Chain A
Amino acid sequence: MIHFEEVSVTYEGHEAPTIQQVQLTIPEGELVLLIGPSGVGKSTLLGTVSGLVPHFTGGTLRGRVTVDGRDTRTHKPRELADLVGTVGQDPLAHFVTDTVEDELAYGMESLGLAPHVMRRRVEETLDLLGLADLRDRPIATLSGGQQQRVAIGSVLTPHPKVLVLDEPTSALDPAAAEEVLSVLQRLVHDLGTTVLMAEHRLERVIQYADRALLLPSPAAAPILGTPAEIMAISPVHPPVVTLGRLAGWNPLPLSVRDARRRATDLRARLATRAPLSTSQAQHDPQPPTAKTSHKKTRTGEPTETGGAGGYDNPAEGRVHPERPAAEGISRLRAALRLRRGTNATPPRAAKAIATATVKALGVRRARIDALRAVTLTLTPGETTALMGRNGAGKSTLLNALVGMIEPTTGTVTVNGRTPHRTPPRELIREVGLVPQEPRDLLYADTVAAECAAADADAEAPPGTCRDLVTALLPGVPDDTHPRDLSEGQRLALALAIVLTGRPPLLLLDEPTRGLDYAAKARLADVLRDLAAEGHAIVLATHDVELAAEIAHRVVILADGEVVADGPTADVVVSSPSFAPQVSKILAPDPWLTVTQVREALA
């Protein structure tokens, strides 16, 4: 269906090609998953199929891409519109009209299909994607999962033979992601659509793929194979594969179901041991060398890293993720200590006083109770994961804690102060929030200017922020424009800026959105270290693997109410939607992460 012949793409202003030597054929009716670390050219490869690369983005394409016999060099994206449907990560950037039904019809209108054909296909698509109840609704009022389904539906109505999806579930909660993936599954099975999809969150998608296409490093030739084959060599892999590699299972299991069937002996081996409690594992200040010693160095053996999926990079010139992380952490510690020294602040971890208390908090917005009677106490050194579906009130709670929202009822106190009555200048020394879009925090043209501004804002000694940046983000020059940073780097910069005010309470909203496993592992290390330093940390996240990895405590919100609150292992193990993969595989024993299992077996 899709043929790549010696394809390479070079963008203007770049010397080296972004992708090269792509030589492969994707047969009809397959769901092909495109995997690889950030920045290896996944989006570029996807763009060549729809013709947006190079017709829309610019750059030079060498070689030839044909889709169902049509050459993308001679066919513009609009002339491929009846053949290729493209859906991106942000559905809102995809919509042209304002109601669901119009959106579904838009593509067909452009192609000039007859009205009765359009009508029939819209009805069919509404049923296929379960959107019939939403047909007249304005798109802006839909939830994320619904929007993504509408986006997929809108490219399905012209009956394309190929569907290209760039991280379709990244921004969705687990349930909404399931919704979208089951639709894709159905398309492949019932309609024979060829699907080419890139996704970071492999734990969600790998079991649905017929084939996997691995881009191991920038400008390296891609490798096409069955998911199990690719997973055996892939530098990025979900926890289930990491566990499979650790246990030496062959072929590697890709789904929890496969893994569970083979895990009998592993469960037996682990039965005699108990996992280190999450908090113990995290407070344990492992020296960097201890971690590296876990790596198997024998050639041919896959190397293992962080538990929330692994990452190892065979490419030369790219630094190993773990080393800079470890190095960064020691520097971070130095930076924090330095600040402690200059400010003579006693280590907060010693105190058992609550950093923040939320009492019977209620927030109402436009007749909707966003939060209802939420009571919560956050203590120093504790990492709390705030989970729940989109719209459950996670962000509202975080915003109330930083005073961006005034409580309707109840009280919020952070270090004895009421956030929404505290002037911003003083508040940043009590509580810091890294928003969902870290870019929102960045105004300046360069990293250095951003740091200087942060120091001035927080009245911290000059250089404080820059030290933090160096610790969190080694090797970023001062004159880099924040826009040119990758998602993970931008997050680290925003985190450094927020930490400049030394807030004892640190809040992060959806920090792993758009991060690959490497960036995620680094973030986990950094947060764990901050918690050990005595920060109280609250993460609002959909990422169950991250929560399992670093959170001591999980609070689940639903419809603005707290429905579960307790130690991670207790809350998460029994839950079908919030349990991490390892926990699902090894249930009923309370194992949460591959790291725990590895340490127990060692």
Chain B
Amino acid sequence: MPTNDEPPQQGTANTPAAPPATGGTPTHFAQPPTASTPVGEPAASGVPTHDPQPPTASTPHKKARGAGGKTGPAAGQPHPRRPRAERRRTPYTTRSNALHPGAWWLWAIGLATAASRTTNPLLLALLVAVAGYVVAARRTDAPWARSYTAFVKLGLAVVAIRLVFNVALGSPIPGTHTLLTLPEAPLPDWAKGIRIGGRVTAEGMLFALYDGARLATLLICVGAANALANPARLLKSLPGALYEAGVAVVVAMTFAPNMVADVARLRTVRRLRGRPTGGIKAILQIGLPVLEGALERSVAVAASMDARGYGRTAHVPPAVRHTTTVLTLGGLLGVCAGTYGLLAAEGARYGLPVLLTGLAAALAGLRLGGRRSVRTRYRPDRWGARAWLVAGSGAAVAAAMIWAGTYAPDALHPGVVPLTAPELPLWPALATLLGLLPAFVTPAPQTPQESK
């Protein structure tokens, strides 16, 4: 170690907690400690030239920087001196600082909850914009990240379908502004309340539009979570006993795109046989080869998994094995009996306790069953401060909207009879903007520098 002990001690001591203010004061020995803080170095640029540090001190200096570099930008990139604005930026995403996928899902569920509480198109548009901005800022170019556009299209389709239904089947909303009148199909008496065709009113259409927009926003929020969080990693966070099910889902998920690619390839290849590439016949003819290919591939993957130790079990003493069986089976029976008790009139008193005991027994069985599995987990995702912030921002949006629903319900549900222009309620709108927080606190995706 170097002769100068002080700098490294300082450096390691105030690693994460160093207030930015101390970093800005350029003393003679200010270099090492500030360099070690993840936020970066002071802006004072003249310091290094008359730095009285002996050359030996550069070793701890570097070391401290290396330690800080882990949470910092992409490892190995030199960052000699960054301006103040740059150090406020979040680091590039790596495996170590990647956000827990659960946090993204909670955030998205928060936004979706908020969306389900309002039909105000302006608020819904704001929610979509918030989700869209975060996705644009934080999604990677991984295959699963491309699903966002699909969800947006699905949302638009939902709105369109809702409107078409409204035109065709009419709506219960009374309205005075008739847009057009379709010929009404006469229906027998017993089908009272159902209408086909008839008057289409502006009020009804507007109501349908609001309603469809709400559903579309929900879908887009789910799409955002899908694009931001790797679904496979989310499944990895499942408890051990459910692991095998998780693997099955992951393998299935990687298969679906392969099958889609197969269908596309075989359809274009039909051209080489001089057959049209479209139409039902084409699909039918390539169906069998596609399924055959999928089957072959799944057998190959199964062989690979087997050869790589999938399904290895630890030796479990028979007593434990039997206990597991008894607990799981007994627990499930208990759950069934308890549910029946709750639903049936007579046993309501016993229902709840039996259900709870059954549930507890089943969970204990699952837990004990986990012992049979020898698996360990490689670099599980950690739930850190950033994850709390992301999940919290989603929850805050949801909470604010729910609160607004009791406080100012009119603003969240603009009336359609009579026709009025919806207004943007100030406070719910500001609260919705909280959902943008992830775009600023989560690690940024790498710019695709070496991806091609």
Complex Cα distance, B362 from A43, in Å, reads 45
Give the segment of A129-137, A289-297, A517-525 that binds chain B. Answer: A129-137
Complex Cα distance, B304 from A556, in Å, reads 36
Task: Judge whether A111 and B272 touch: CB under 8 Å.
Answer: no
Task: Judge whether A93 and B309 touch: CB under 8 Å.
Answer: no
Take A105-B379, A136-B95 as given contacts and tell me if A424 and B308 are in contact as well, using a CB distance cutoff of 8 Å. Answer: no
Task: Judge whether B308 and A106 touch: CB under 8 Å.
Answer: yes
Task: Judge whether A98 and B312 touch: CB under 8 Å.
Answer: no
Task: Judge whether A88 and B378 touch: CB under 8 Å.
Answer: no
Give the segment of B262-270, B340-348, B404-412 that binds chain A. Answer: B262-270
The smallest beta-carbon distance between B273 and chain A, in angstroms, is 5
Task: Judge whether A441 and B272 touch: CB under 8 Å.
Answer: yes
Take A155-B308, A441-B273 as given contacts and tell me if A110 and B375 are in contact as well, using a CB distance cutoff of 8 Å. Answer: yes
Binary contact track B263-284/A, C-beta < 8 Å → 1, others 0:
0011011111111110000000
A107 in the interface (beta carbon within 8 A): yes
Residues of A in contact, count (CB < 8 Å): 77
Task: Judge whether A428 and B272 touch: CB under 8 Å.
Answer: yes
Residues 440 to 494 of chain A near chain B (Cβ within 8 Å): 440-443, 453-454, 457-458, 483
Complex Cα distance, B273 from A78, in Å, reads 44
Task: Judge whether B247 and A96 touch: CB under 8 Å.
Answer: yes
Partner of B452, one of A55, A80, A368: A368
B142 in the interface (beta carbon within 8 A): yes
Contacts of A600 in B (CB 8 A): none
The smallest beta-carbon distance between B314 and chain A, in angstroms, is 7
Task: Judge whether A424 and B271 touch: CB under 8 Å.
Answer: yes
Complex Cα distance, B126 from A561, in Å, reads 46
The A-B contact count (CB < 8 A) is 173
Task: Judge whether A119 and B379 touch: CB under 8 Å.
Answer: yes
- Closest-by-CB residue of A relative to B277 is A424
Take A95-B254, A97-B232, A435-B272 as given contacts and tell me if A115 and B306 are in contact as well, using a CB distance cutoff of 8 Å. Answer: no
Residues of B in contact, count (CB < 8 Å): 54
**Interface residue SS majority, chain A:** helix
Complex Cα distance, B297 from A138, in Å, reads 19
Take A97-B232, A98-B254, A135-B95 as given contacts and tell me if A119 and B378 are in contact as well, using a CB distance cutoff of 8 Å. Answer: yes
The smallest beta-carbon distance between B447 and chain A, in angstroms, is 13
Task: Judge whether A109 and B274 touch: CB under 8 Å.
Answer: no
B307 in the interface (beta carbon within 8 A): yes
A303 in the interface (beta carbon within 8 A): no
B301 in the interface (beta carbon within 8 A): yes
Take A50-B307, A78-B311, A93-B297 as given contacts and tell me if A498 and B376 are in contact as well, using a CB distance cutoff of 8 Å. Answer: no
The smallest beta-carbon distance between A471 and chain B, in angstroms, is 20
Partner of B376, one of A76, A77, A114, A138: A114
A346 in the interface (beta carbon within 8 A): no
Partner of B378, one of A96, A118, A439: A118
- Closest-by-CB residue of A relative to B298 is A93
The smallest beta-carbon distance between B285 and chain A, in angstroms, is 6
Binary contact track A146-167/B, C-beta < 8 Å → 1, others 0:
0000000011001000000000
Take A118-B378, A428-B273, A440-B266 as given contacts and tell me if A112 and B314 are in contact as well, using a CB distance cutoff of 8 Å. Answer: yes
Complex Cα distance, B379 from A106, in Å, reads 11
Partner of A111, one of B289, B312, B446: B312
Task: Judge whether A140 and B143 touch: CB under 8 Å.
Answer: yes
B196 in the interface (beta carbon within 8 A): no
B419 in the interface (beta carbon within 8 A): no
The smallest beta-carbon distance between B360 and chain A, in angstroms, is 28
B420 in the interface (beta carbon within 8 A): no
Binary contact track B252-268/A, C-beta < 8 Å → 1, others 0:
00100110000001101
Binary contact track B283-313/A, C-beta < 8 Å → 1, others 0:
0011011001000010011111111111110
Take A106-B308, A107-B309, A433-B272 as given contacts and tell me if A138 and B303 are in contact as well, using a CB distance cutoff of 8 Å. Answer: no
Contacts of A106 in B (CB 8 A): 308
- Closest-by-CB residue of A relative to B98 is A136
Task: Judge whether B307 and A84 touch: CB under 8 Å.
Answer: yes
B136 in the interface (beta carbon within 8 A): no
Task: Judge whether B374 and A440 touch: CB under 8 Å.
Answer: no
The smallest beta-carbon distance between A288 and chain B, in angstroms, is 31
Complex Cα distance, B273 from A401, in Å, reads 15
A497 in the interface (beta carbon within 8 A): yes
Binary contact track A264-293/B, C-beta < 8 Å → 1, others 0:
000000000000000000000000000000
Chain A CB within 10 A, most for which of B257, B276, B289: B289
Complex Cα distance, B376 from A425, in Å, reads 57
Contacts of B325 in A (CB 8 A): none
Take A84-B307, A110-B312, A439-B289 as given contacts and tell me if A457 and B275 are in contact as well, using a CB distance cutoff of 8 Å. Answer: yes
A338 in the interface (beta carbon within 8 A): no
Residues 61 to 110 of chain A near chain B (Cβ within 8 Å): 76-82, 84-86, 88, 90, 92-99, 101-102, 105-110
Take A443-B285, A457-B273 as given contacts and tell me if A56 and B306 are in contact as well, using a CB distance cutoff of 8 Å. Answer: yes
Residues 426 to 452 of chain B near chain A (Cβ within 8 Å): 446, 450-452
Task: Judge whether A138 and B143 touch: CB under 8 Å.
Answer: yes
**26 A-B residue pairs with CB within 8 Å:** A51-B307, A56-B306, A76-B306, A77-B303, A86-B304, A86-B307, A90-B300, A93-B297, A95-B254, A96-B308, A101-B95, A106-B308, A110-B375, A111-B312, A112-B312, A112-B314, A115-B379, A119-B379, A138-B143, A141-B142, A141-B451, A155-B308, A404-B272, A426-B274, A428-B274, A440-B289
20 extra interchain contacts, Cβ-Cβ under 8 A, other than A97-B232, A425-B274, A443-B288?
A50-B307, A52-B303, A56-B303, A78-B307, A78-B309, A88-B300, A93-B300, A94-B301, A95-B301, A99-B230, A110-B309, A113-B376, A115-B376, A118-B379, A136-B94, A141-B451, A424-B277, A443-B285, A443-B286, A497-B273
Listed from nearest, the 3 A-B pairs whose CB atoms lie closest are A81-B309, A105-B378, A110-B309
Q: Which of B's residues lie within 8 Å of A, judged by CB?
A: 94-95, 142-143, 230, 232, 247, 250-251, 254, 257-258, 265-266, 268-277, 285-286, 288-289, 292, 297, 300-312, 314, 374-379, 446, 450-452
